[in-house]
């Protein structure tokens, strides 16, 4: 078994303009934010982003890196809509394929299984079909049932974040939900995994059940140790969502000057600079009674 450890910059160098990129996590939960921020430091553009979206989609849209978004939803959870994605939808700067969540999972499962489509009941008799006129239905060969034929999604690259991993690419989640990250890994030609901590392989199952090993090294191209790599989204049980920072992110999107200041402070720096700026914000908020 080979050592697959990489740096954040190593991963970004493997991604090219025009690619279809899957981003794991769910809304504002366990997103590979360090990897996403690293993409913002490149000149990559014209991406098709496939995601149960959150600030990952918002940041990439704000930076003008996205051509199309394929999604089940885009939300910050405690804040219903990501402001940057909302703006991109309203001004028409990105194309979209909006699926029912069940359809989105079916599309990932088909891609993970190398199938051209999978049948599902999800989306029947709904506006999803009108919003995606390219979708087709298929008749069951066994009875009179009709299903939506959801096309499989194959990804050039997937980016996911988990709690623990080893140098070989085995990935473990310790929180309440896998968020379909295993499907993102299996549906991609290459998957890059960031983790809070890289540990010895034996430690992955020393204090947790084998079922917590979500992603096999067979589907992982590279692994990055990135402490706080999901910030400002949650990565339970390591840390909860940084709600004050998320609120500051949403407020900064209200006007160009505020967003320019946010970008210079938190995004136009390397990961160490980002983490340092976050700590300064926390210290400032503590000194002012909790207001960032």
| Ordered domains of the chain (ranges, CATH) | 8-125+151-225 (3.40.1080.10), 243-287 (no CATH)
pLDDT in tens, 149-171: 999 999 999 999 999 999 999 99
Supply the DSSP symbol for 98. Answer: E
Give CA separation, 159 vs 1, 38, 80, 224, 281, in Å.
Answer: 21, 12, 23, 11, 27
Q: Average pLDDT in the 275-282 region?
A: 94
**What pLDDT does residue 24 have?**
98
Stated pTM of the model? 0.95
Q: Average pLDDT in the 273-286 region?
A: 91
55: pLDDT strictly greater than 90? yes
pLDDT in tens, 225-278: 999 999 999 999 999 999 999 999 999 999 999 999 999 999 999 999 999 999
In angstroms, rounded to a whole number, what is the distance separating the alpha carbons of residues 29 and 222?
A: 22
Helix (H, G, I), strand (E, B) or coil at 32: coil
Lowest-pLDDT range of 53-62, 79-88, 123-132: 123-132
Work out the pLDDT band at 291, boundaries 50, 70, 90: low
pLDDT in tens, 131-150: 899 999 999 999 999 999 99
């Amino acid at each position: 078994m080979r050592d697959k450890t990489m740096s954040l910059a190593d991963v970004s160098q493997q991604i090219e303009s025009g690619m279809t990129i899957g981003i794991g996590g769910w809304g504002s939960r366990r997103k590979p934010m360090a990897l996403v921020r690293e993409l913002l430091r490149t000149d990559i553009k014209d991406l098709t982003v496939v995601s149960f979206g959150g600030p990952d989609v918002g940041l990439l849209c704000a930076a003008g890196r996205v051509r199309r978004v394929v999604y089940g939803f885009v939300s910050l959870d405690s804040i219903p809509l990501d402001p940057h994605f909302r703006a991109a939808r309203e001004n028409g700067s990105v194309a979209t394929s909006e699926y029912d969540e069940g359809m989105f999972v079916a599309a990932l499962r088909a891609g993970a299984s190398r199938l051209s489509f999978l049948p599902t009941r999800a989306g029947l008799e709904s506006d999803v079909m009108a919003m995606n006129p390219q979708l087709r239905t298929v008749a069951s060969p066994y009875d009179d049932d009709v299903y939506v034929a959801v096309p499989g999604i194959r990804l050039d690259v997937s980016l996911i974040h988990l709690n623990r991993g080893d140098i070989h690419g085995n990935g473990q989640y310790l929180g309440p939900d896998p968020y379909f990250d295993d499907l993102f890994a299996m549906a991609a030609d290459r998957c890059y995994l960031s983790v809070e901590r890289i540990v010895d392989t034996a430690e992955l199952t020393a204090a947790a059940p084998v079922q917590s090993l979500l992603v096999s090294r067979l589907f992982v191209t590279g692994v990055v140790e990135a402490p706080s790599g999901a910030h400002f989204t949650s990565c339970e049980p390591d840390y909860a969502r940084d709600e004050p920072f998320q609120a500051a992110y949403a407020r900064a999107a209200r006007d160009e000057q505020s967003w320019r200041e946010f970008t210079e402070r938190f995004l136009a720096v390397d990961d160490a600079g980002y983490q340092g700026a976050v700590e300064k914000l926390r210290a400032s908020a503590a000194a002012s009674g909790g207001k960032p």
